[in-house]
């Protein structure tokens, strides 16, 4: 059996190696390392794939979030609401820009921001909401967009984990994750669903004015060479990453399918176990399974992780600590306001999930999980 990994980028690379190697060498031959033709071609292809007017490539997913916030003309102390249960980058950029983060509980089943609690967190100082499409499934965007409209708030979708997911509104219209809010952001970190071979990110919007502004911000606030109209950053996608992304974008739907097949296998093995909750599938969003995350109800989650490790099966706790309890982002809170996040911190465990899992590996993983759960009272 091949060694089981959380993410198997080597096996995936081997299947596209000849194409990737040829394209990477061509970038070096042409010496168009930054903002070359490959970056432009990828940008257009991603716009078409997402059906969004503007894609602005940048250096990573954290920059993408920061640049999105910078484009919105917020002022110090303005409040930005996001989920307490997400990767720290989402809240980090809010603090970097001297805005105030307001953290909100998530849904127990969907792992995404709870819209009732979101509503009660809105104050006259609230300016934006950052829903995170955590683990590969969209937040409840219809409700979030409704709330945002009512209160005149911007919506930035953190789509680092859900690229390719489809959202269906109640009138039947469909949109890709990351293209529904004011701005969407993503990351091309190697382990993401559309990952490059280094760092990369992108920003999406249908708003012409914001797109123009962000194209300047990523490039030192320059709209005309050496004329700096605002304070920007230096955040670029390089051409080597772009050629990798062009090849992998063509495969993204097939990759999503492979992830869903692995998820279906896991679901089937665990669905009837009374101490295991499988990830729920929301009625309005497809799932791209960035992570396959179980909830373990018997209080033995850590024991399960150790047992799996002893069998050479990696499993991860995403995330072990609530953002509101992190030293850097600490805020006073009432436990009752965060009951779902706090339960999830104790229960979640993510199993290996990638495009290259085979049946032998899936069988070994599921049997090992069940063996532990059935022999540990
Ligand atoms: C990975 C990730 C980011 C940050 O992306 P980087 O490219 O690593 O900067 C932001 N938000 C979420 C939810 C992520 O998973």
Residue 128 lies in a domain: yes
The burial class, CB within 10 Å (0-12 / 13-18 / 19+), for 76 is exposed
- Rounded Cα distance, 313 and 310, in Å: 7
Q: Are residues 98 and 71 in the same domain?
A: yes
* Of the residues 182, 217, 246, the one at which a domain ends: 246
- Active-site annotation holder among 117, 127, 192, 213: 192
**In the prediction, which pLDDT does 176 show?**
98
Answer yes or no: is pLDDT of 202 > 90.
yes
Residue 370 lies inside a defined structural domain of this protein: yes
| Cβ-proximal residues to 111 (8 Å cutoff; 6+ apart), any chain | 85, 134, 135, 137, 293, 344
Structural domain boundaries, residue 31: 9-246
Indicate whether 189 and 279 sit together in one domain. no
CB neighbours of 287 closer than 8 A, spacing ≥ 6?
A: 136, 137, 165, 260, 263, 279, 281
Same domain, 235 and 176: yes
Residue 377 pLDDT exceeds 80 = no
Same domain for 151 and 238, yes or no, is yes
pLDDT for position 35: 86
* CATH classification at residue 164: 3.40.640.10
pLDDT of residue 376: 85
Q: Does the pLDDT of residue 283 top 80, yes or no?
A: yes
Q: Among 200, 219, 246, where does a domain finish?
A: 246
Out of 191, 219, 246, a domain closes at 246
Structure tokens at 17: 């190696």
pLDDT for position 73 = 86
Using a pLDDT cut of 70, give the percent of the chain over it: 100
Domain count, the chain: 2
Q: Do 262 and 228 belong together in one domain? A: no
Evaluate: CB of 187 within 6 angstroms of ligand 1: yes
Please check whether residue 186 is in contact with residue 178, taking contact to mean a CB–CB distance below 8 angstroms.
yes
Residue bearing the CA closest to ligand 1, atom 6: 61
d(CA 320, CA 359): 29
Q: Which residue has the tokens 């670029």?
A: 236
Centre of ligand 1 to C-alpha 162, Å, is 11
Report percent pLDDT > 90 for the chain. Answer: 98
Q: How far is the CA of 60 from the centre of ligand 1 (A)?
A: 8
Does residue 266 sit in the same domain as residue 233? no
Residue 3 lies in a domain: no
Atom of ligand 1 lying closest to residue 161 CA:
15
Residues 321 and 363 in one domain: yes
Q: Are residues 82 and 201 in the same domain?
A: yes
Check residue 209 and give its pLDDT.
98
pLDDT the model gives residue 292? 98
- pLDDT per residue as tens digits for the range 95-122: 999 999 999 999 999 999 999 999 999 9
pLDDT of residue 216: 97
Average pLDDT (146-159) is 98
Do 225 and 343 lie in one domain? The reply is no
Task: Confirm whether 3 is a catalytic residue.
Answer: no
Whole-angstrom distance between the N-terminal and C-terminal Cα of the chain?
Answer: 30
Q: What average pLDDT does the segment 207-217 reach?
A: 98
Q: Considering the domain boundaries, does residue 4 fall inside one? A: no
Q: What is the mean pLDDT of the chain?
A: 97
- Check whether residue 52 and residue 126 sit in a common domain: yes
The CATH code of the domain that includes 285 is 3.90.1150.10
What φ, ψ does residue 216 adopt, rounded to 5°?
-75, -45
Q: What is the mean pLDDT of residues 48-56?
A: 98
Two structure tokens written together for 299: 């209080």
160 CA distance to ligand 1 middle (Å): 5
What are residue 316's DSSP bridge partners?
Answer: 350
Same domain, 183 and 316: no
CA 143, CA 171: separation in Å to the nearest integer?
13
Are 61 and 189 within 8 A, CB to CB? yes
Residue 308 included in any domain: yes
Examine the domain organization and report whether 313 and 269 are in the same domain. Answer: yes
pLDDT band at 348, cuts 50/70/90?
very high
Ligand 1 centroid–CA 109 distance in Å is: 22
Q: Give per-residue pLDDT as tens, 222-253.
A: 999 999 999 999 999 999 999 999 999 999 99
Ligand 1 touching residue 201 (CB < 6 A): yes
Predicted local distance difference test score (pLDDT) of residue 227: 92
Judge if the beta carbon of residue 158 lies within 6 A of ligand 1.
Answer: yes
Task: Please state the rounded mean pLDDT for residues 5-14.
Answer: 97
Q: How many CB atoms lie within 10 A of CB 193?
A: 25
Q: Whose CA is nearest to atom 3 of ligand 1?
A: 61
220 contact partners, CB below 8 Å, separation of at least 6? 228, 232, 233, 234
pLDDT at 190 over 90: yes
3-state class of 170 per DSSP?
coil
């Amino acid at each position: 059996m091949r060694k089981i990994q959380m993410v198997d980028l080597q096996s995936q690379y081997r299947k596209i190696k000849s194409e990737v190697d040829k394209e990477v060498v061509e970038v070096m031959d042409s010496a168009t390392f930054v903002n070359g033709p490959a970056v432009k071609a990828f940008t257009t292809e991603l716009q078409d794939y997402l059906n969004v007017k503007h894609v602005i490539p940048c250096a990573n997913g954290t920059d993408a979030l920061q640049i999105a916030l910078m484009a919105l003309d917020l002022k110090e102390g303005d409040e930005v609401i996001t989920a307490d249960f997400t990767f720290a980058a989402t809240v980090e950029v809010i603090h970097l820009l001297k805005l105030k983060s307001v953290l909100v509980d998530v849904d127990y089943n969907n792992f995404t921001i709870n819209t009732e609690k979101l509503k009660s967190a809105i104050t006259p100082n609230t300016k934006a909401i950052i829903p995170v499409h955590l683990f590969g499934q969209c937040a409840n965007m219809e409700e979030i967009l409704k709330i945002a409209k009512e209160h005149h708030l911007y919506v930035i979708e953190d789509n680092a984990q859900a690229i390719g997911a489809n959202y269906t509104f109640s009138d039947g219209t469909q949109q890709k994750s990351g293209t529904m809010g004011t701005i969407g952001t993503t990351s091309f970190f190697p382990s993401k669903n559309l990952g490059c071979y280094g760092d990369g990110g992108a920003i999406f919007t249908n708003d012409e004015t914001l797109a123009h502004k962000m194209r300047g911000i990523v490039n030192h606030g320059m709209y005309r060479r050496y004329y700096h109209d605002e304070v920007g950053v230096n955040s670029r996608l390089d051409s080597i990453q772009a050629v990798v992304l062009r090849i992998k974008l063509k495969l993204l739907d097939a990759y999503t399918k492979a992830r869903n097949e692995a998820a279906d296998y896991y679901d089937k093995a665990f669905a009837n176990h009374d101490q295991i909750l499988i990830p729920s599938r929301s009625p309005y969003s497809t799932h791209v399974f960035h992570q396959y995350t179980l909830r373990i109800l018997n209080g033995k989650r850590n024991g399960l992780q150790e047992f799996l490790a002893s069998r050479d099966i990696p499993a991860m706790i995403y995330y072990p600590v609530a953002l509101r309890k992190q030293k850097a982002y600490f805020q006073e809170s009432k436990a009752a306001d965060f009951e779902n996040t706090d339960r999830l911190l104790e229960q979640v465990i993510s199993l290996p999930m990638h495009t290259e899992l085979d049946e032998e590996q899936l069988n070994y993983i599921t049997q090992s999980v069940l063996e532990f759960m059935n022999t540990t009272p």
